Amino acid sequence: MSKFQIGKDISNKQTLALPIRQSTYRQIIFPCHLGIISIGNVSTSMLNKLRFHLDQAFDSFFFDIQFIEDTNLHPDMFELGVKEEYNLLNKSSEKVLLQPTNKFYEIIVDKKFEYNFDIGVGLTNLPIYSSSNENLLFLFGEAHIKYMCAIVSTHNLIDLFNPENHKLKKIERRIYKEVIHEIGHLILDCGHCLNDYCVMRFSKNIKEIDSKSIYLCEKCKLKLEKVRERNNF
């Protein structure tokens, strides 16, 4: 997650409520079913490698991992709740429209219900801000533990001002780390790790994402084992 404070020159249109079906409140029992939903223009070439890294990080926690592609925001929804702000992470002189995270949660929850997922994670190329704290702009990702869903934005995982960081493998690895990070929040139900190399460490920029590992540290692995023990698998 990364954050920037909102300036005065921001257009904030109406916000969205998040209607959640009662079935989404059910307690998750592991192993479970995970769905990855592509929302917007997201490359699908990396999905098999993403599956591999998820299996490595959360061995046997998922019965299956299903990918749902080509999901888009409805045109009538696109401008609801948007904020207009300078893209400070990429030092842009142009403003961009940021989408509220609850707009994506609504889509993800619908897909969870439709495909009977226990956990849903959205991948989007659109820049996002937090619906729960509107001062948090240009997030890499956010998890909603109550609804067992998360959204990861690839928008600022590409450094527009450093050609070396345009390498596809480096960008994909950032995405893998952020997806694992948000799923880690959903499974472990805890805050960020203080270990500099743990994938669960908070990252305020892509340099910090690059410097941390794609793996859980030993302390976080122990937390994962406690979840495994509670679920008897």
Catalytic one among 85, 142, 182, 229? 182
182 catalytic residue (yes or no) = yes
Please state, in angstroms and rounded to a whole number, the distance separating the CA atoms of residues 82 and 233: 43
Please state, in angstroms and rounded to a whole number, the distance separating the CA atoms of residues 186 and 145: 5
- Are 1 and 140 in contact by the 8 Å Cβ rule? The answer is yes
106, containing H or E segment: helix 101-115
Classify each residue of 73-102 as buried b or exposed e, where b means 16 or more C-beta atoms within 10 Å of its C-beta. Answer: beeeeeeebbbebbbebbeeeeebebbbbb
- Whether the ω angle into residue 75 lies within 30 degrees of 0, i.e. cis, is no
Angle, helices 168-188 vs 47-57, to 10°: value is 40
Encoding tokens for residue 188? 């472990």
Active site amino acids: 182
